[in-house]
Each structure stands twice: as C-alpha cells, then as structure tokens.
Structure 1
Amino acid sequence: MKAGSPDLATLGHRIRHFRGERGMTLDQLGAAVGLAGSQLSLIENGKREPKLSTLDALAAALEVDLAALLAREAPSRRAALELELGRAQSSPLYASLGIPTIKPGRGITDEALEAIVGLHRELQRRASEAIATPEEARRANTELRELMRERDNSLPEIEQLAEERVRASGHRTGALTHREVSVMAEQLGFQLIYVNDLPGSTRSITDIANGRIYLPPASIPGGHGLRSMALQAMAHRLLGHERPNSYAEFLWQRLEINYFAAACLMPREASVTFLSAAKKEKRLAIEDFRDAFGVTHEAAALRFTNLATTHLDMTLHFLRVAGDGALLKGYENDGLPLPTDVTGSIEGQWVCKKWSARTSFEHTNRTTENYQYTDTPAGTFWCATQTGRTDAAEFSITVGVPFNQAKWFRGRETTVRAVSTCPDDACCRRAPDGLAERWAGRAWPSARLHAHVLSPLPSGTFPGVDDAEVYEFLETHAEQ
C-alpha cells in the first residue's frame, strides 16, 4: 500500500474505529504495540504504512481478526463519508478551485458532512458531464438525431419565435439584411461589434453586462456567416439558455440556436410560399432556395429538412460527407440506410462509394448540383449533391428523396443511375478477389489519424471553450 492511498486511509479508519470500541486512547494502544501515540496517529490518518508485524500486534491488541482489520469497507457511515471527502479534496478538480481543505473533525456533524460530500459529488458529476469525450459526444449526437427524426426535424416553437423577431425588425421580403439583424440585436439591448481578436475557440462572445455581441469582421470558413453568428448569439438570450449541465444539453442548445438562426434567415412563411410554388411547378431545387435567401448551400439544405415533411408532405434525407467519404452530418426520415456503428452512431462512418455524395467528387464541373438515382436494398432514391471546400478539406452536401417524390425536383430527368448493396462489403469495400490475393499481406499503409477521434473537448464552462481567453478578451474590450 502507498501512503496517502484510499486503502491506507480505510485501514486507518478501521483501526480508529476498533480502538474507539475498546475505549482505548492513542497512547494506550500505542504502548500495547510498541509505538508512540504520535506514530499511531500517522497510521490512523493514512499517512504511514504499518509493518506486517505491527498489523499483527494491532489486531491482537484490538481483539479482532487481521482480516477484519484489513477489510476494504469503511467501518461506519461516518467513516465512509470522511474517506469520500478526503478523496474528493485530493482530486485535481478540487485543487483547481483554489480553496482550502477542511478536516472532518468532531465539530462537523454527520448531517453537515453529508451535505459537504453531496456537494462534492455534484461538482464531480457536472465536471464529468461537461467533458465531451468521443463516446459521450457520439451517444448524445445519436440521441439528438433520433429525437429530431421523431419530430420530423421541426421545432414549431422556435419557428414562431423567429417569425416574431424577424417581423419586429421591419423585414418584409427578400433576404434578411445585416441592418435588420442589427435592429434585432438592438431590440434585445445589444450592440454588434466586429473585432479581430476573438479567442480561437469561439465564434462570438456576448458581454451580457455591457450589452455587446462581439463577432469576427468576416465570415468563418465553412459557411458560418456573420448574420447567422449574430442570430445564434441572440438566440441564447431569447431562448433563456442557462449554463449547460451536460454535453447533451450543450448539443441541444447548439441545435436550438442554429435552428433559430436558420428560421430567421429563411422565415417559415416566406420559405414555405417559395418552396410550395416550386413544388407545384415541379422545379424544386436547393440551389434556388439558397439563392433566394442569400445563404449557404448547406444552410438551405438543412432548412429544407425542417420544412419538407411538415409543410411539403415529403420525406427526405440530408448528408454532409467529407472528401474521404466519412459522414460528418446526416438526417433521414425516408428510410435511406445510413451507415452506423454498433452504437447506432453515424458520425465518421463511410458512406457507400456509389452514392452521389461521393461520386460527385469525381466530377470536373462542381458549380452546379449533380443528380443521381441510386438503387439500394431499401428502395430507389433520387439525390441532388453540391460539392464545396473549406480551408481544411472538401465536402459534399446532399439532399435526396424516395423515387416517387423525385417528380417534384429539377434534375429528375437525369439518366445517371447506380446500384448500391451496402452494408454488404462486396458492394464497394472489399477488393476484387484477384487484387486482394496479389496484395494481401504485402501492403502496410500509414493511416492518417484524426486526432478528434481520441481527444475530448476541453471542459470549460462551455465544452471546447477556453474560459481564461474569453474573460481576458472581455476585460480588454470592456475598457475600450
């Protein structure tokens, strides 16, 4: 046993417990086993490991079996609480608080000790839940995707809130302007300020005390426009968000603010009117929806998933796929067999090489959508795919529907057709027999490791955000 370890601490409590039962003082028991009272006190406090001969002597003096003295269980409820408090106060989490430890002496009642230990448990629980481990993130993402599938990816309450705020800004038709977004912020008591020194872990920072929303001076690569970032920041206030107590709650809040921003940039009433007219004329196209409201292709595609089932009476799927074929984001309520791992998670799984989400990367003309019919074990689907690129990598955005709903879309006339039998490995993942025989055991590729698969998001007030950087930023700008 190591000095200061839980096992030594438990042993010390058991010695003290049995000594108390015998009515012996430290000096009396020490004299019986050949130790000074001060030496015995160190053993009882878990700070010194006794020799085996000393343990035998202690058991004999206390009239208990050696096995009973060495048992791992705390000798009483009070002792168990004191041990738990000791472990909590020696943890890195407690050290990070910068507050002194307390000794659970006789002056602290059992009830007070229960309360203190209970607070430590809750502190540890919240800290653990705030850490976005890969496993926690995947589980929370899967649960959230299943929840939104049950709701047809629609949140009517946020739709209504967005309609009210957009109308109050004076907006009537066309794309929501930067000025109208600024008016929306002013109506909430905030001023939009564009700065060059936002911490790298943030998209925006809201100074609640001084009524400021800090934004970068230009859009962030990946489709995060300034209007959208400002609306997301406002959404936290409008939706009454509090600090998230778990990573799942953090993800839910992020989904809500993204939904609110999209519902403001593409208001429900105007969007449904536009899309319904296009459906009636059988010329639905994400490209046109995107251009009509001045948003990114991905934003238009995602917004289409919010409205299609509830307002256009159609099921559909959405995919964002990386250039290497990994599924980054996905939604379906039309039965498309998305690839999943054993937990049901889709993030990071490879989509079939024959789907348009991947074949589109092979096209030389990437300025317009690519159309394709794909026969799958779950039926035939029509898809429209647009490719794009960030500073880091290329990606594709796909919106698709079952065969019988393709009639509403521009591009339905395409003659491009593929057959996918995934998840059968023979479809696109297994090398032809001859090729496999020739190279099996003779190749050793060096895999590219995606670091995010192994690394959790740092656990600040908000997962992935450096609190110190945020507070230093606010301190600097509060003086300006």
Structure 2
Amino acid sequence: MSDLATLGQRIRHFRGASGLTLDQLGGRVGVAASQLSLVENGRREPRLSLLGSIAEALDVPVAALLDPAPPTERAALEIELESAQASPVYAGLGLPTLRAGRSMSDDTLRAIVGLHRELARRSREAIATPEEARRANTDLRAWMRTRDNHLPEIEAIAEEQLSAVGHTTGALQHREVREMAERLGFELVHVGDLPHSARSVTDIENGRIYLPPASVPGGHGLRSMALQAIAHRLLEHQAPTSYAQFLRQRLEINYFAAACLMPLQQSVDFLRQAKADRNIAIEDFRDAFGTTHESAALRFTNIATPHLGMTWHFLRVGGDGAVSKAYENDGLRLPVDVTGSTEGELVCRRWAARRAFDRTNRTTEYYQYSDTPEGSFFESTQIGTSATEEFSITLGVPFAESKWFRGRETTTREQSRCPDASCCRRPPQELAEHWSGKAWTSAKVHAHIFSPLPSGTFPGVDDRELYEFLESHSAS
C-alpha cells in the first residue's frame, strides 16, 4: 500500500508540475479522471501500459514515477499519515479517518503525524514486557515443534548463498562470509564502539555492516554475527513491532547462520555416516565444522527428525538449574509455568543438564540415562562458560535411539519423578524438621528484574546511541 501511495504522489507531483488537471491528463491517456484519482490516491494499481502513457503525457521517464522516494516532504507526511491511520493501533481508538486536504497546512500535518508517531512509540513500549516476551516465546517454540525444528525455506536460501560464493566443503571461511555480504552490496566493518543495545548495525545508506572485533576461538562468533546481519537483508525483515515478530526474526537469522556454517547436505552426510558407525557425538559434529557446542547441538535438532528419523530434546541450562533455551519433540516433559513458558523454570536435579555440573573434569561430554514419568532417555551434556555464568548444553533422545550414540555404554542412570515436588524440590522430611526455623539466608537479588528495556525503537535499541554511532562512522 505504501508503494502505491508513493506512486500516486509522484504522478500527482509531476502532473502539478506540468500544469495539468485530472481531466486534462485523463484526456491525454484515455482514462476517466475518476480512475486517475484512484491511482493518485494509492487506491488502484495502474497497468504498466497506462503507466507508460502517463509518463509520456507528463514528459518524464517511467523510472521517475516508480522511484520509491516521495517527491516532497509534504507527500512523505501524507503517506505516513495514511499508513498510521490504517494501523490496528489507530483503528482500535474508534476515531474517524482524517484526510490531508489542500487546506491543511504543513505545520498541522507535521503535528498530526508527530502525534501518530508518539502513539505508535507508546504502543510498542507498552508491549515490551517480560510477560509478553514469555508468551511470544512459548508460541514460537510450539510452532517450531510442529515443524520438527526444520525450516526448509531457509535451508534453500542458505544453500543458494553458499553456492554463489563457491563453498562446497569444510568450515565456512571468513572470506566467503565477506563475499556473501559484498554480493548484497555491503562491506563488513569491525568496530569497538557498537551501541550497547546492538549485536550488529547495518548502515543501509552507506552499505556497511558493523560488527564487534571480539570473537570466540575459531572465529565462529564473527562469522555467525555477520551471517545473522546478512540474513536480515536476505529475508527482507522490517523493524519488528512486537515481541513475537522480534523473536521470530531472531530465530530465522540464527537458523540461516547455522545453515551456512553447517550446510545441510554436508551435515546430513556427516551424521548419517556417524549413525551408520553407531558413533554420533555432538563434539565430533562441532569440530567438523568449527562451531560452538551449542550451535552444533541445535543444528542437530534441525536435521535429526526429517533426515535421520530421530526425535530429540535440547536444553541450555544455567548453573542454578534454570532453563534459558529448550526444544523437544520426543515427549520429554519440560518444566513450565502456568502460561506454558519454560524459560527460567528449574529442571530436575537428576537430569543430565544438572548432574553434569557435579563432575570435576568437565572437558568432555557427560553421558547418562534419565528415567522419567514420560519414559527413559539417553542424554549427552557438555558444560560451557559465558562471560557471566556456567551453563550446560544437553542433547537427549529416547532410549531406543541411544544405540546410535557414543557414550551409550554408560552405566550412569538417574530416576526422576518431576514434576512431583518430592523428587528433588521439597527437602527430605528429616532435614526440614532439623533445620526449619534455625537458619536465615540473605538471598541474592536478580538485578535483571529491575531492568526494563531502554526507551526508543522496539525492542529496546537506544535510538540516540545508535544514530550517534552511525553519524560518527559515516564520515570514515
């Protein structure tokens, strides 16, 4: 609709510059003035032949009419007003639609559009709440479960990009990532002063993608962040207006990056061979493509069901036992709150995701069988460390699938009755009786509960910091 509105505004602009009325232009192109009025008001898309006739009558090239930029500031404001009044936010107010007629001054139009911008900003700010994020994430996880965590449409885009830069085998090189960006008209620039609220910044006007200089060993971090920024352009993402849209976009760019770093056919061939050898190990998959353990485990979940015929579960759990990321399609009951959200919930102390923290030697994967009310599962867990915490990455499969995995000979087995509180959450009766009322703990305060998103463009980017960053680098 905005494209048609801009086209209509440009036709009106050039008609006015030519001194023609609607009737006069209609007479030249053989169309009724009422039909031309619909075109100029963005209500009807003209045929290409009519567009050519209009351009000829106005003595301008067709390209001048199709230019995506509004012809004047006034035209841009009129288009923005019409778009704002068509939004669900404005429709929900039950107010009449206001047209920017000739009698409306530019200052009045600017004021009305400014009010709409503030209304939209406050609406975005109102939904930027942890509760909204949790609901949106729960819905997204359920949607991915219906697709077995597999997105073939993004796999196809990744394969096309890899083919275009000649990548056929082995770990994806920084040079190949840079060539992908260049094919889209962008230069990768590493800087040390990115806005605090941004992982990367894409300067569309100057064709630059700004990335941080730091990286995890092996360069995975830099390649992944560059690929995520590239994905926003390839997938034609627009600025998100809700948590659901923001989280969906984040999932898609992460998926694209993984599909480039661990290409589908190479990954399937590798895992099928490992399955044939009864020696599937996430650490081998990780090392073959030079990625992180978490990325390799998540990539396995993209492939396992459609290409290996396996169901699975994935967990990222903090040292305190709280879930930060979880997926499953094998029936494992994840801990959830009343809204169905699992993030922040505690997993059973007897699951591998928590038992792995008890080991002294954490350099290798930890294997165990976990018996739960939903069945028995084989689990492989690796401990990782971020800048702020330790965490575990767990990939699990139903007992019947353990025969394909390294570590299946483990004798470690744990019994879990969760969500029964007597399993591991409620203290044993003798301990409760002995210590109840005899101790006092000064609990830690989780600072993040006091940290709302910064004001500005949803979902929390500091606009002033962002624009000052772009301005400072645009001249370099």
TM-score bracket, normalised by the shorter chain, equals 0.7 to 0.9
* Contact 2:220–2:290 (CA under 8 A) maintained in structure 1: no
In the TM superposition, what are the counterparts of 1:310-389 in structure 2 within 5 Å?
Answer: 310-389=306-385
| CA-CA distance at 1:446 after TM superposition | 2.1
Aligned AA for 1:419? Q
Return the letter of the residue paired with 2:152: P
- Residues 457, 261 of structure 1: CA spacing in aligned structure 2 closer, same or farther, 3 A cutoff? same
Indicate the residue corresponding to 1:435 in structure 2.
Answer: 431
Contact 1:134 1:455 in 2 (8 A): no
In the alignment, structure 1 residue 478 sits paired with structure 2 residue 474: yes
Q: 2:236 aligns with which of 226, 240, 262?
A: 240
Aligned match of 2:275: 279
Contact 1:325 1:358 in 2 (8 A): yes
Whole-angstrom CA distance in 2 between matches of 1:281 and 1:154: 25
Q: Provide the C-alpha distance between the structure 2 equivalents of 1:332 and 1:122, rounded to a whole number of angstroms.
A: 41
Contact 2:125 2:455 in 1 (8 A): no
Amino acid at match of 1:173: T
Letter in 2 for 1:133: T
Aligned match for 1:257, one of 253, 256, 260: 253
Counterpart Cα distance in 1 of 2:281 and 2:185: 38
Q: 2:389 aligns with which of 378, 393, 397?
A: 393
Indicate conservation of the 8 Å contact 2:215/2:222, yes or no: yes
Q: Is the 8 A contact 1:130 1:459 kept in 2?
A: no
Write out aligned runs for 1:120-199 (5 A): 120=116, 123-124=119-120, 127-128=123-124, 131-199=127-195
Q: How far apart are residue 124 of structure 1 and its match? A: 4.2
Mapped pair 1:228 → 2:214: no
* Equivalent pairs, count: 369
Q: Which digits, 9 at most, give the CA deviation of each residue in 1:133-169, with x for residues without a partner? A: 1101111110110010111111110000000001111
Residues 232 and 276 of structure 1: is their aligned pair in 2 closer, same or farther, counting only changes over 3 Å?
A: same
463-472 vs 176-185, greater mean Cα deviation: 463-472
Q: Normalized against structure 2, the TM-score is what?
A: 0.74
Greater CA drift, 427-436 or 292-301: 427-436
For the residues of structure 2 that align with 1:117 and 1:170, how far apart are their CA atoms? 48
CA contact 1:228–1:262 (8 Å) conserved in 2: yes
Alpha-carbon contact 2:240-2:459 (below 8 Å) kept: no
Structure 1 pair 196–130 and aligned structure 2 pair: CA distance change class (3 A): farther
Work out the CA distance in 1 between the residues paired with 2:429 and 2:181: 62
Q: Runs of 4+ in structure 1 displaced over 6 angstroms?
A: 116-119
Instruction: Name the residue aligned to 2:211.
Output: 215
Check conservation: 2:188, 2:210, Cα contact below 8 A. yes
CA contact 2:365–2:381 (8 Å) conserved in 1 = yes
Percent identity between the two aligned chains: 70
Structure with bigger gyration radius: 1
Q: Which residue of 1 aligns with 2:461?
A: 465
Cα RMSD, aligned residues only: 2.3
Q: Give the equivalent residue in structure 2 for 1:38.
A: none
Give how far 1:125 is off.
7.6
Pick the aligned partner of 1:404 from 385, 391, 400: 400
Counterparts of 1:461 and 1:130 in 2: how far apart (Å)? 12
Given that 2:384 and 2:392 are in contact with CA atoms closer than 8 Å, whether structure 1 keeps it comes out as yes
Residue 88 of structure 1 corresponds to none
1:143–1:453 distance in 2 versus 1, CA, 3 Å? farther
Q: Compute the displacement of 1:442 (Å).
A: 2.7
Q: CA deviation at 1:375?
A: 0.5
- C-alpha separation between the residues in 2 aligned to 1:367 and 1:133? 38
Counterpart contact for 2:301–2:312, Cα < 8 Å = yes
Over 3 Å counting, the alpha-carbon distance change for 1:295 and 1:130 in structure 2 is: farther
Query: Retained in 1: the 8 A contact 2:121–2:456?
Result: no
After TM superposition, give the deviation of residue 465 of structure 1 in Å: 1.6
2:411 to 415, 429, 441: 415
Unaligned runs of 5+ in 1: 1-106
**Per-residue CA shift, 1:29-62, capped at 9, x if unaligned?**
xxxxxxxxxxxxxxxxxxxxxxxxxxxxxxxxxx
After superposition, what is the alpha-carbon deviation per residue over 1:5-46, rounded to whole angstroms, capped at 9, x for unaligned?
A: xxxxxxxxxxxxxxxxxxxxxxxxxxxxxxxxxxxxxxxxxx
- Structure 2: which 5+ runs fail to align? 1-102
Cα distance change, pair 118–473 in 1 and its aligned pair in 2 (3 A): closer
Q: 1:430 to 1:151 in 2, by over 3 A?
A: same
8 Å Cα contact 1:126/1:246 also seen in 2: no
One-letter amino acid of the structure 1 residue matched with residue 167 of structure 2: H
Q: Relative to structure 2, which stretch is displaced further, 457-466 or 207-216?
A: 457-466
Structure 1 distance, partners of 2:458, 2:253, is 15
The residue number in structure 1 matching 2:196 is 200
- 8 A contact 2:317–2:353 mirrored in 1: yes
Amino acid at match of 2:261: L
* Deviation per residue, 1:391-448 (Å, 9 max, x gap): 2110000000000011111111111000000111111111111110122223332222
Post-superposition CA distance 1:79-99 (Å, at most 9, x none): xxxxxxxxxxxxxxxxxxxxx
Check whether the contact 2:312–2:328 (CA below 8 A) recurs between aligned residues. Answer: yes
Task: Describe the SS at the equivalent of 2:128.
Answer: coil
**TM-fit CA distance, 1:220:** 6.3
